[in-house]
Structure 1
Amino acid sequence: MPTRSRPVIAITAGEPAGIGPDLLATLDPTRYPARLVLLADQAMLRTRAQQLGVTPPWVPYSDLSPPIPSLEVLDLPLAKPCQPGVLDTANAAQVLQLLDRACDGCLSGEFAAMVTAPLHKGVINDAALLPQGFSGHTEYLAERTHTPQVVMMLAGAGMRVALATTHLPLAQVPAAIQFDSLITTLQIIHQELQQKFGIPHPRILVAGLNPHAGEGGHLGREEIEVISPALAQLRQQGMNLIGPLPADTLFNPAQLAQGDAVLAMYHDQGLPVLKHASFGHGINITLGLPIIRTSVDHGTALDLAATGRADGGSLHAAIDLAIDLANRRN
């Protein structure tokens, strides 16, 4: 079982043609007070390291802690050799296998947390592996852990931004803002800020859906009919909720100082601001899971694979947070 001093952190390589393997191959295990277990095709990872001109301190993963800080590799082979920058649907199943193995290890207690490098949604969907399609790590891990509702939150530059809806076409967002789901989302954020982040009395800033938060119903009625009633009910339960606020003025320093997290109504309402402030060093956290999962805040960057130009700042931050959350849980 993981210990407080050296939790075991599973790190998935993500899309093999992208920069995930580059980021894993260049990790320095002496930087982290944890055992780092890399879930990847070992031969592919070795080839990528050679292309980058690095010689990582790798050892095979086992139940025993290595005597010196090392990168432990749990080998999960690809179906076909990988060419950096070139997607191949034949290898999509292995990307999901990495997630399954890391998730199952977290559920069993073998791993204290999982950190995910970026994957490519398109190639997984093109492979037609899942009857319902693949919309992202967040939704996939929720289904894998039988969690009815989770919340996607990104953190960086002193901000925490959670989402009421995740990877939906914009036209579907208004119908997805429902009273019951919004109640559950805010309850999850409140509880996770308390339990995972150690904030006794969280303050949550809630964005409206429409311009000017609907402007009294003249620019939309979701604030009046759904968002405000949900906030009122939760305030009666003791939650500190501020809003609904116009999103165009919510992300200013004075307003952000009044809260511990922001709830945006849709993906591109909240994340452009956070990524502008912290791109390359932000973190994605899935709230509500029975496990700890953090991730990078960027994509596969196929054009940077094997070039040595990939920035590992986001992965470092995701690993640091995973270790911190694992130690706090223990």
Structure 2
Amino acid sequence: MTTIVPVIDISDPSPETVKKLYEVASTFGFVFIEGSAFTASDVDGMFRLAKEFFMEPINEKQKFPISSTNRGYSCVNQEVLDDKSNKGGDPKEVFNFGQFEDSKAIQPLPKVFSDCESDIAAFASKCHATCNKLLDLLAEALAVDHAAGGKTWFSSRHDLKEFSGSILRFLYYPAVVTGDGTNEIRAGAHTDYGSMTLLFQRAGQDGLEVQSPLSGEWVPIPALKAKDPSACPPIVVNIADQLSFWTAGVLKSAVHRVKFPIEAVKRGSDRYSMAYFCHPADNILLEPVPSPVIKASSLAVPTGADVITAGEHLKRRLAATYSWKD
């Protein structure tokens, strides 16, 4: 399937790669990447675990409820990403993994996950390393002051030794068959809360749509296949709120949603996906980035403007998502 969203190979980044990544991040906010460290086996293994968990009885899944830590299981209609389109909540299930310490989760896990805890930890670690690589490329594109940290300015603020809101999320959208082809929104229109997100999709399970910051139209982001069957399919990467906030809007956090294609609704298809929400350490200030590109922008933050931490920013966003948030 073709897509207007570019596919960028990050295996051996060149100046041209850096330029392309910045062009997309500063206009559309969504891009596909290939050439990552993931294999098809890595991704398939995680999807198998996700399916095994979501197929368990609801009473078993609810033994690990999501809480104010943003870790655990969220049932159908519990999450409300857009109360205008889905006032009753989003018809999907999720399981959130927080950080891991020495390959051990810092939260209770159901047996299907605890039996493979080290594998999940390794996958999450590979996600974080991939995000750091992309953050370095964006810092390079922004020509961040070398004396202030240069290309590692962002990644150094995403140290996993510190607590952060980074989350690995398994998602399941159960099939909803409607005879008249009614096509409901499965995840309401929203932007992501962290610095950037990696999204892994399954071939034939489309549904992600992005509202173009340029035209305002909803653009489908298909699930692409890998050129090499042993390689990981192209991963969707999107800029999220904290990175956009951090760069005074120079990098774009685009609104997106999940809405099944009509064909998928009619045939009663499920959708599985996985997302890694990468966040800076909670105590990091979202202060102005020492970049001439940002300073020259009309969006530059005035000197003396309020600066909040990454943790405070996340807390504000989560407050509007779950009723158990204060």
TM-score above 0.5, yes or no: no
Q: TM-score range by the shorter chain?
A: under 0.3
**Greater percentage in helix:** 1
Q: TM-score, normalised by structure 1?
A: 0.24
TM-score (norm 2): 0.24
